Structure 1
Amino acid sequence: MRNRTGLKYALYILSLWLLFISLFIMSYDKKFFSSALNYFNDRDAMILLSKITPKNIVFASSFIMILAGIFIFLYLLFSFRAGWSVACTVSDVKNESHEHLEFLTTYVMPLVFTDVNSKRTMLNLLIMIVAIGMIYVKTNRFYSNPSLALLGFRIFRAKIHDRGAKEFVIICHGEIDDSSTIRYIRLDNNTCLAKIT
């Protein structure tokens, strides 16, 4: 089973969607838009460059990451149309959905109130986002995703009975219990995306 590292990083970007929306709102600057409008009218790049501040960079970056999050969600929505396993039963189901809240309160919320006006804090924000992403993927916590929780996905730990029994972390839209039957797609050796049949 190959690890889908790219997918894990994509899920990490999606998990920070709320942070990027918050930074987008906090860094909005209408003066930047007037400077951009002047640039397009005069074709003078120096006008635009002279007006760019760390706040504008955070604003533009947040906008790009919000768009990336939308594309990632659409990719996930359409890429898992096929490749599901046969119907399998589950047992020893434990609800692990508190992982979403832990990730949100531990990593996302402290970054929401970052001062976006300073180069130093902007650099610190970038370093923290990259470092948290590397930890997130290396420790296989990519399923702790508050954005997926908002979309109705929950996290369970359970044994899947498919040519033997193996315990997985299961990301599922809806509730599963010991009487549920699911189809699944492995995301790595210990994690899968499931749908209830």
Structure 2
Amino acid sequence: MPTSPVRVFLFLSSYFPLFLIFSVLWYQKHFWLSLWVGIASLLSLLFSIVYFVYAYKTFSDTTVKVTKVARKDEASMGYIASYLIPFVTFSIDNDKGQILIPQVLALVVFLLVLLIVYVSSNMIYINPMLNMLGFHLYAIEIEGSSELEYYYLARKRVVRGELITYIRLSDDIFFEH
């Protein structure tokens, strides 16, 4: 199972589009904040990509037969709609360009709550950036398993009855190999 720091970076990378939007919106009034947010979000995205490449190259793989499959990409759209869109219009400053501490603290508290929920659950794989990189999330059942359902991240389409080769990222999360 990914460690907590890896889960935090996966969380931050899932918010890369939002942080990039903030960076663009804050550029003129708050250059240094904009730059810091942009760099931090880019680093989290790069770290997440490096993690998946590392896992792909070093974790052992397994081949199994899929007995049931359901695509779960719609979870990413709900994620975007419920969390990213409302924050695009969130202002951290007043008409004079002064940063308002209560707004910043409200944003930080909200993101910390999301971080805790996200990191302590398997939501780290509901990540719009993985979709943008061509990955899809599937709920699958596999032959000979007592578990009812696993999550499988793959670029290719998954069909019931086919053999898949995966690496295990956690107890119930598989990554296409």
Whether the TM-score (by the shorter chain) exceeds 0.5 is yes
Counterpart residue number, 1:119: 101
> Residue 58 of structure 2 aligns to a residue in which SS?
coil
The answer to whether the Cα contact below 8 Å between 1:90 and 1:181 also exists between their aligned partners in 2 is yes
Residue identity in the other structure for 2:60: W
**TM-score normalised by length of structure 2:** 0.84
Change (3 A) 1:128 1:57: same
> Residue 86 of structure 1 aligns to a residue in which SS?
strand
Counterpart residue number, 1:184: 166
Change (3 A) 1:6 1:180: farther
Identical aligned pairs, as a percentage?
20
Equivalents in 1 of 2:162, 2:5: separation in Å?
A: 30
Residue identity in the other structure for 2:151: V
| Bigger mean CA deviation after superposition, 3-12 or 185-194 | 3-12
Runs of 4+ displaced beyond 4 Å: none
Counterpart residue number, 1:72: 48
Deviation string, structure 1 residues 100-135 (Cα, Å, up to 9, x no partner): 111111112212221132222122111111110111
Given candidates 65, 73, 78, the residue that maps to 1:97 is 73
1:177 Cα offset (Å)? 1.0
> Residue 87 of structure 1 aligns to a residue in which SS?
strand
> Residue 57 of structure 2 aligns to a residue in which SS?
coil
The answer to whether the Cα contact below 8 Å between 2:9 and 2:47 also exists between their aligned partners in 1 is no
**Residue 154 (str. 1) matches residue 136 (str. 2):** yes
Change (3 A) 1:59 1:123: farther
Given candidates 59, 63, 85, the residue that maps to 2:61 is 85
RMSD: 2.2
- Aligned pairs, how many? 170
The answer to whether the Cα contact below 8 Å between 1:19 and 1:112 also exists between their aligned partners in 2 is yes
Deviation string, structure 1 residues 126-166 (Cα, Å, up to 9, x no partner): 111111011112232111111111111111111123x6453
Unmatched runs of 5 consecutive residues or more in structure 2: 94-99
Unmatched runs of 5 consecutive residues or more in structure 1: 33-55
**Residue 18 (str. 1) matches residue 17 (str. 2):** yes
Residue identity in the other structure for 1:84: S
Equivalents in 1 of 2:85, 2:162: separation in Å?
A: 35
Equivalents in 2 of 1:27, 1:133: separation in Å?
A: 23
Change (3 A) 1:149 1:18: same
| Bigger mean CA deviation after superposition, 134-143 or 150-159 | 134-143
The answer to whether the Cα contact below 8 Å between 2:27 and 2:34 also exists between their aligned partners in 1 is no
> Residue 122 of structure 1 aligns to a residue in which SS?
helix
Equivalents in 1 of 2:112, 2:24: separation in Å?
A: 21
Given candidates 111, 123, 126, the residue that maps to 1:141 is 123
Larger Rg: 1
Counterpart residue number, 1:7: 6
